[in-house]
Amino acid sequence: MPIATPDVYAEMLDRAKANAFAYPAINVTSSQTLNAALRGFAEAGSDGILQVSTGGAEYLSGSTVKNMVLGAEALAEFAHHVAKAYPVQIALHTDHCPADKLDTYMRPLVAISRERVKAGRDPLFQSHMWDGSAVPLEENLKLAEELLADCKAANIVLEVEIGVVGGEEDGVVGAIDEKLYTTPEDMWRTAEVLGTGDKGRYMLAATFGNVHGVYKPGNVKLRPTILRDGQQYVAAKLGLGADAKPFNLVFHGGSGSELSEIREALDYGVVKMNVDTDAQYAFTRPVADHMFKNYDGVLKIDGEVGVKKSYDPRTWGKAAEANMAKRVAQACEDLRSAGQAL
């Protein structure tokens, strides 16, 4: 199928919340990792989200070019073509854009989509993330309100973050302290400024102890009930029923999380969960295995010629793709999206 249209993406998100499942959002940094993610979604029978961070986009443009917009645009155009070969719906998303990169990453990409929409086409990306976690809440929401209007004009969903995700990703470091836990009052303030869909669709990354990076199971202290309490607090303020979930929530920093905590978060309205670290390892592990096992063939040792089939990138690349696809399919099972494709 082609990349999801705005209407299809909206349906995907609505179905996820209504049925208590979430889509894995897989960070990709190459055509090969993109193909691996597509394969994993297809094998799981799950729709899904592919996303590109600022660092990933810069890398995609070439290590000497370092043009985030060029890299993200190129991979998105590639995805619009290759996704047609898979029987699942795929949305494209950009991940974690901080304030100092809005003018060199997110805003230009939104402008590209606005031009496409004016010409009667679908947007290039289906959603973008504004990461305002490093600025005060009111400044965060003021910028989010401006970006939401721009995204609405381009038929794009905005993702915002309220609170801080600990650990490190793409050079952005979040301290591990009480700011990891979003308050109900912060969630209500978000609804006051951004509305609950009337000003444009958005997803909310409310933090509940999330930490980026690599941690052993049990080391990340999540409190999913924060999501429940925030949803209930805002629902009460809006005069909605006790079971209402006003927000489409996003789960960041999931590596090392217990499956029970992940599933609990789904019950509280999480519709998207970022999967980066685990997918990176799944891709790289078979490559390391191949290099160790085929050392003499990969390297031209002592003037020999090596073994071309050993150092052909397609040889170890196929193993990397297969293993990453397997990890993506596992994420679909964990998030209950397996078998839920539209």
Round to whole Å and give the CA distance between 166 and 176.
Answer: 5
Task: Residue 230: name the closest of 248, 253, 252, 210 by CA.
Answer: 248
Question: Rg of the chain's alpha carbons, rounded to an integer?
Answer: 20
**95 counts as catalytic:** yes
**Cα–Cα dist 118/169, whole Å:** 35
Main-chain phi, psi angles of 206, to 5 degrees: -90, 130
| H-state helical runs in 54-121 | 54-60, 68-82, 107-118
Based on the number of CB atoms within 10 Å of its own CB, is 64 exposed (0-12), middle (13-18) or buried (19 or more)? exposed
Could you give the angle at which helices 107-118 and 137-153 cross, rounded to 10 degrees?
A: 20
Contact 24, 331 (CB under 8 A): yes
Instruction: Spot the catalytic one: 14, 47, 95, 122.
Output: 95
Distance, CA of 10 to CA of 101 (rounded, Å): 27
Catalytic residues: 95
